Amino acid sequence: MKVTISVRQVYFKTTAVDIDIPNDISADDIGTYLNDNAELYSDSIFRGLEEEEHEEGIGMDSGHWTDEDMDSEWRYDCKSLNTGGHV
């Protein structure tokens, strides 16, 4: 008789990059600006992810992560305007 042992183990990586955006972008328009200008940060994010080690879990313990059911979550935080959101 055979039995099959299966496992589903979740791993995650996180990384962050800082970019400069124009000072005249309002807090309400930061997400739109970042979505329209992904070339300013996407390559750096992917390079950063390649350099990070995998950690066990879903990665919700640190940062401002909110989308527990999603496979990936992109967000921005702007300390000077005390705002953040999803990209």
Most confident of 3-7, 21-25, 69-73, 74-78: 21-25
CB 40 within 8 A of CB 87: no
In this predicted model, what pLDDT tens digit does every residue of 15-73 receive, in sequence order?
999 999 999 999 999 999 999 999 999 999 999 999 999 888 877 777 677 777 777 88
Task: Identify the pLDDT of residue 73.
Answer: 84
- Is 0.85 surpassed by the pTM of this model? no
Residue type, 20: D
User: Which domain range does residue 66 map to?
Assistant: 11-86
DSSP helix/strand/coil, 78: strand
Residue 6, domain member (yes or no): no
8-17 pLDDT, tens digit each: 778 889 999 9
In a domain, 18, yes or no: yes
Q: By C-alpha distance, which of 55, 80, 77 is closest to 65?
A: 77
Instruction: Answer yes or no: is 56 within a domain.
Output: yes
**pLDDT at residue 18 in the model:** 95
1 occurs within a structural domain: no
The count of domains in the chain is 1
pLDDT of residue 44: 95
Q: What CA–CA distances, in Å, run from 65 to 7, 12, 44, 51, 73?
A: 25, 13, 20, 21, 7
Does any domain span residue 44?
yes
Give a yes or no: residue 4 inside a domain: no
